[in-house]
Amino acid sequence: MSKPSLNLNFRSLLLPILAAPLLAIPSYGDSQARIVRLSDVQGDVQIDRNTGEGYEKAFLNLPITQGVKIQTGKDARAELELEDGSTLRVAPNAVIEVPQLSLRDSGAKVTAIHLQQGTAYVNFLGTKNDEFSLTFVRDKLVLTRSAHLRIELADAEATVAVFKGSVEIEGPSGPVTVGKNQTASFDLAQDTHYELAKNIEESPYDSWDSEQAKYRERYTDNSYSSYSPYSYGTADLRYYGNFFNAPGYGLLWQPYFVGAGWDPFLNGAWAFWPGFGYGWVSSYPWGWTPYHYGSWVYMPMYGWAWQPGGAWMGWNTIPVVVNPPPTFFGPRTPGLPGQRIIPVNQGPTPTQLGKSPNRLQIPNNSAGLGIPRGSVRNLGLLSQDAERRGSVTMRIPSAQPTRAWQGNLDGPSVARPSGWHGGSSARMGSSAGSSAGRAGSTSRSSGGHSSGTRR
């Protein structure tokens, strides 16, 4: 989409409707706690958010906090992304717990993961002073330098395979060092027995892990500090949209597959945390950074775009809106007591064509929903075609494409005020969404083997 010249004097409006509640919400950023991103969800993934409600359906971009548990079902997968872009990927039929996500007084970040069952992949980038630990059964590995590894738990054996770097594992009988392209196997019935193989046997989900790692290597922006305090989420910004400069605004970003009638709050959910209230969670595959930092700006001749700046917002986030059109109603947090996660689904989503799950029709204003990361390299060109024709047909190369946001969570959708639409009638035309159900925005809160006994 070509960028028009913007020589308009826009006034910034912060909707007052949520200004008062902000005074009562504690600032998450002032504590030593951290949030990380649930950056990929495929299939049946369940999450226990440590709220006392037990397991519930997990979804993309949900903030992960200390004490959370995640379990994946058959053929399901999940990924956690840390602030520096380090990742933990969880294969099917696995259970993990996050006992620690903290910040030291020095600013160093400490992350602890416990693998209860199944297979997990760790790609730790080794940011200075940061520490990542993972425990399984009675063993523990601690990473302070860059490493890429796989941990598998079976009924009688646990294995640690190191693709990159070197890992030291501490157990009841002492340390075991596992170097690059080596695999350590531990007999769970005998604490002191292990075998060290100088090779790595392929596992069924190694290719998935490798594909995701290559995606991040290709799209991670090393200059992200110019528009975000943290790296997580920035690879998705580069893949699913583009940056541009607008007079009077500076650097802005807009997702592909958007046009007249789209706004940033058509698809997502309200998630409730005790003591903090409801926060907005976007369902778009790029929807992390733009909903925790900066603001969403509306420009009559162009539509909605994300503008970096301001303070990073924590888990109870209600994104800031600037210069909304007159018909844009303010954010309406749910007034439904006892609800945990409430979906909002008003924007168009991709549809499957025929019997093949890999052939999709992508409508304009779907903003990347249903498109697996890295699956197509010419999203910008496809977006232009969708704008001209209303939709495009594409074939997803993945055997299991990421499904579009379906909103199949428990509980009703949030009602939207009658007559709402995302843009002015002169520019935006009819709304892409229906006139019922809604969420909105303004403010912040916070080869050989050796065996032996460990010595």
Residues above pLDDT 70, as percent of the chain = 78
- Per the model's pLDDT, the better-predicted residue between 120 and 375 turns out to be 120
- Please state the rounded mean pLDDT for residues 95-109: 94
Determine the pLDDT at residue 73: 97
Residue 313 — very low, low, confident or very high, per pLDDT cuts 50/70/90?
confident
Determine the pLDDT at residue 32: 64
Determine the pLDDT at residue 222: 82
- Please state the rounded mean pLDDT for residues 321-342: 79
| SS3 at position 225 | helix
Give one DSSP letter per residue of 110-137, joined into a string. EEEEEEEEEEEEEEE---TT-EEEEEET
Residues above pLDDT 90, as percent of the chain = 56
Q: Are 63 and 211 in contact, with CB atoms under 8 Å apart?
A: no
Determine the pLDDT at residue 26: 34
Predicted confidence (pLDDT) at residue 95 exceeds the cutoff of 70? yes
Predicted confidence (pLDDT) at residue 445 exceeds the cutoff of 70? no
Determine the pLDDT at residue 28: 40
Rounded to two decimals, what is the model's pTM? 0.83
Q: Which residues of 282-304 are buried (b: 16+ CB within 10 A; e: fewer)?
A: bbbbbbbbbbbbbbbbbbeebbb
- Per the model's pLDDT, the better-predicted residue between 425 and 167 turns out to be 167
| Least-confidence region, from 278-282, 386-390, 423-427 | 423-427
Predicted confidence (pLDDT) at residue 432 exceeds the cutoff of 70? no
Determine the pLDDT at residue 337: 67
Residue with tokens 């440590």, as numbered in its chain: 50
Predicted confidence (pLDDT) at residue 98 exceeds the cutoff of 60? yes
- Please state the rounded mean pLDDT for residues 436-455: 37
DSSP label of 361: E
- Please state the rounded mean pLDDT for residues 305-333: 81
- Per the model's pLDDT, the better-predicted residue between 405 and 386 turns out to be 386
| Least-confidence region, from 56-70, 254-268, 274-288, 400-414 | 400-414
| SS3 at position 279 | strand
CATH number of 35-82+84-215: 2.60.120.1440
Q: Dihedral of the CA atoms 236, 237, 241, 242 (nearest 10)?
A: -140
Determine the pLDDT at residue 441: 37
Determine the pLDDT at residue 408: 45
| Least-confidence region, from 55-59, 66-70, 181-185, 428-432 | 428-432
* Structural domain boundaries in the chain: 1-32+232-446, 35-82+84-215
| pLDDT, averaged across the chain | 80
- Per the model's pLDDT, the better-predicted residue between 203 and 22 turns out to be 203
Determine the pLDDT at residue 90: 98
Residue 315 — very low, low, confident or very high, per pLDDT cuts 50/70/90?
low
